[in-house]
Amino acid sequence: MKIPFYVLFGTAAALGGYFFVSSVFGGLSLGGASALAAKGVLLVAAVAGSGVLYWAYRLGEVQGRWLAGFGAVLLAVLAFQLVMVAGRLALG
């Protein structure tokens, strides 16, 4: 369970890094929202997902609960997506 945990963890961390870099340097549009609002949504998504990823790391690596950590990484990906969808719906 250790290897799938780290594969998914690395993928989710890369996704969070992409969201963070996009929020700082990218020109992403989020529906009818302004560029600043779209960057803010990306930044919130990156921070929310990173917080859950930290929790997943604590579960998997520190406590040795690999399956729980794997589930928490899936929750981190879900957190990324939920913030993006909520931002899209809220900002139009």
The pLDDT tens digits for 33-69 are: 777 888 888 888 888 888 999 999 999 989 999 999 9
Q: What pLDDT is recorded for position 27? A: 67
**All structural domains of the chain with their residue ranges:** 2-91
On the CB side of 24, CA atoms within 13 Å amount to 7
- The residue-averaged pLDDT of 79-86 equals 89
**Long-range CB contacts for residues 2-5, cutoff 8 Å, separation at least 24:** 2/60, 2/66, 4/70, 5/60, 5/66, 5/69, 5/70, 5/73
Whether residue 32 is predicted with pLDDT greater than 80 in this model: the reply is no
36, two tokens: 């600043």
Q: What pLDDT is recorded for position 85? A: 87
**Non-local CB neighbours of 87 within 8 Å, separated by 6+ positions:** 30, 33, 37, 38, 40, 41, 44, 45
Residue bearing the bigger pLDDT, 70 or 17: 70
Model pTM above 0.85 = no
